[in-house]
Amino acid sequence: MDNSDIPRSTISGDLPIRSASRTQKEDPEKELDETQGPRLLRLLAPSLWLRCKRRRREIGDPKASGGVGKPTGFEEWSADGPLTPDEYQEDCGLYDSRRSFVDRLEEAFMRFERKRRIEPARGNIFHKYLQYGGISVGPNFGGGVSPQDMKMMTGDEIMHARTQTLIEKEREGLHISFDKVVRGFFGTYYLRYFNPEGIEDIELATSTIRNFLTFLLFHDVCPEYKDDVLQARKICTIANMELWKNLQLIRKGPGGFNKACSVLFAGHSLDKKNEKSSIWDEIDDPSMTTEKAQEIIKYCIAGAGSHEVASSFMQHVATKNVLVESVEDIDGFEILCVSEPGDDVLAFYQEFAAHLTPVGTVKAKSFRDPGKPQTDLSPEERWDWDHGKAPSYEFVFFIERDHLKLFYPGLRVVAPVWKMNCGAYYFDQVYSTFPSFNAIIANDMMLGWKKPRDLTNGGQRPKGQEGEINKGIHDAVKIALESTGQENDEGKCSKVNEDVSDGEYDTAETS
């Protein structure tokens, strides 16, 4: 029979037809068990197997890493992607302006923590920031949930049940200012509470708060406070630069000239003369001898001081009558301007004292810390001070050139200031510093505050006293503000002056 007479199949005879029985393996390597691979590698290539085992031990087991090294959402390059139509509609419902501000903010807290991988160190900073702003933070404010119940709950239901933040009803009537809370948190609270060791710790804190504020803007959580949130984000950027300088200034001390004056005139540095304290570890010469201190002061005043100050200093030195007196009734000084050493000063040091560091000048004015108790005054003096007749001073300090980078306009330094009888000023130990954006608010006093409980009624609050807590908060703030004399005619807490350079108190605020 001719092959041409055989009917052709619907499948072309040129295509290979796979047999139904798998008598042959297509790829023997794919059939290799995962557990057999390391065994064969160990038998066939022992040296390679040892290197792979050692490398795996160095990098660790990725399954047991706990997510370390994965993106967190706080990276510099990280950004939230565009919202889908469904996500946009969800945001419109969650952050509808018809909902109360408290409900919208609580929703933002929960969703921010769910959309970010917040590590313990970062979470501690974020929760302290919320507490500073008047938000209660604690475990299971939503009541908690068991693993069995979680299997029958949606993601949003689990999120609400496991929330750790709550805005107390008694605090809903307080003044709201994101800007003032950020200024107070980074201006006074952060350095004192967290005591950062380096710029990495400061960047961790500022990036966390800035990321949260960006989340509020991106999801349009509170459009009525948009300008306030934008200003708070700017403060986070400024804080990243200024806080690191403040921390270095506290650690490095007042500089060579001021330390030399402290040694000669029995100041704080006199006790450090033969010691190597951690405060002075970053100074080139931690041991300041009397001879070296005299040399530093002499060339500094002669090279950078005015003609009147230099002439008076030389006359007092000739008669061995160089004296100093403390500037009273102030807590420190605020920087007005910073001047690098001029060409004439550099030429003077190059010719007469090449082994010493040239000095620049820092112009400052007297500063009184509004967070401290007021100076004890007579009624007449108090009246004068309240009406703008308090004594004020201007200073010119000599600071080494490599130390000038730590000073900037607006910096406030809490330190004792002394005046030499030749007209030169110096400051002793640096106790603390405040950045240029610092604002004093009453939130510091409310940290750790708890609701009072009536022990005479079995721990239950009697009916009809729901407003007593709010009144107690108001009274506590009022008492604090009265200590500074900032109370209006109606006996209510005064509103903070928008000019933060005045350092006035604010009412307790909620972030």
Q: What is the pLDDT along the chain (511 residues), one digit of tens a residue?
A: 455 554 444 444 444 444 444 444 444 444 444 456 666 666 667 777 677 766 665 555 554 455 556 777 777 766 777 888 888 888 888 888 888 888 898 888 888 888 888 888 888 999 999 989 888 887 766 666 677 777 777 777 777 777 777 787 777 778 889 999 999 999 989 988 898 988 999 999 999 999 999 999 999 999 999 999 999 999 999 999 999 999 999 988 888 899 988 888 865 554 444 444 433 334 445 567 888 888 999 999 999 989 999 999 998 888 888 888 888 888 899 999 999 999 999 999 999 988 999 999 999 999 988 877 777 888 888 888 777 778 889 999 999 999 999 999 999 999 999 999 899 999 988 999 999 999 888 887 777 777 777 777 665 555 555 555 555 555 655 555 555 554 444 443 333 333 333 333 343 344 4
Q: Are residues 245 and 260 in the same domain?
A: no
Give Dmax (Cα) for the chain.
139
Q: How many residues are recorded in the chain?
A: 511
Residues 368 and 496 in one domain: no
Q: Is residue 150 part of a domain?
A: yes
Let me know whether 309 and 388 are in one domain.
Answer: yes
The answer to whether residues 398 and 300 touch, using CB atoms and an 8 Å cutoff, is: yes
Question: What pLDDT score was predicted for residue 317?
Answer: 87
Residues 245 and 263 reside in one and the same domain: no
Q: How many CB atoms lie within 10 A of CB 335?
A: 20
Three-state secondary structure readout of 447-497: CCCCCCCCHHHCCCCCCCCCCHHHHHHHHHHHHHHHCCCCECCCCCECCCC
Instruction: Find all residues with CB under 8 Å of 390, minimum gap 6, and list them.
Output: 329, 368, 384
Instruction: Indicate if the alpha-carbon torsion angle 10, 13, 17, 20 is positive or negative.
Output: positive
Instruction: Tell me the backbone φ, ψ of residue 249, rounded to 5 degrees.
Output: -65, -40
How far is the CA of 415 from the CAs of 75, 190, 462, 464, in angstroms?
A: 38, 20, 50, 50
State the helix-helix crossing angle for 120-132 and 101-115, rounded to 10 degrees: 170
- Rounded to the nearest 10 degrees, the angle between the axes of helix 199-218 and helix 226-252 is 180
Distance between first and last Cα of the chain: 95
227, 118: one domain: yes
Cβ-proximal residues to 39 (8 Å cutoff; 6+ apart), any chain: none
Strands (DSSP E) found in 340-393? 359-367
Q: Are 409 and 297 in a shared domain?
A: yes
Query: Of 202, 221, 250, which closes a domain?
Result: 250
**235: in domain:** yes
Q: Find all residues with CB under 8 Å of 228, minimum gap 6, and list them.
A: 177, 178, 179
Per-residue pLDDT at 471? 55
Domain final position from 250, 274, 305: 250
Distance CA 249, CA 449 (A): 33
pLDDT of the residue at 54: 65
HSE-up of residue 443 (Cα within 13 Å, Cβ side): 32
> Does a structural domain hold residue 55?
no
What's the domain count of the chain?
A: 3
Statement to judge: residues 93 and 208 lie in one domain: yes
List all residues 6 or more positions away from 168 whose beta carbon is below 8 Å from its beta carbon.
136, 469
Same domain? For 125 and 205 the reply is yes
Q: Which of 207, 233, 250 is the last residue of a domain?
A: 250
Q: State the burial class of residue 341 (Cβ atoms within 10 Å of its Cβ: 0-12, 13-18, 19+).
A: buried
Distance CA 23, CA 10 (A): 26
471 within a domain of the structure (yes/no): yes
235 and 261 in one domain? no
Look up residue 75 and give its DSSP letter: S
The span from the CA of 240 to the CA of 258, in Å, is 27
Residues 90 and 218 in one domain: yes
pLDDT at 154: 76
Query: Do 53 and 61 meet the contact criterion of CB atoms below 8 Å apart?
Result: no
Decide if 13 is inside a domain: no
Could you tell me the two tokens for 224? Answer: 């009525």
Of the candidates 103, 170, 100, the one whose C-alpha atom is nearest the C-alpha of residue 446 is 170
Residues 217 and 243 in one domain: yes
* pTM given for the model: 0.70
Domain span including residue 134:
85-250
Q: What is the pLDDT of residue 490?
A: 40
- Examine the domain organization and report whether 203 and 349 are in the same domain: no
Q: Is 506 within a domain? A: yes
Phi-psi region of 503 (alpha: psi -120 to 50; beta: other; left: phi over 0): left
C-alpha–C-alpha distance, residues 299 and 354, integer Å: 11
Strand (E) or helix (H) holding 415: none
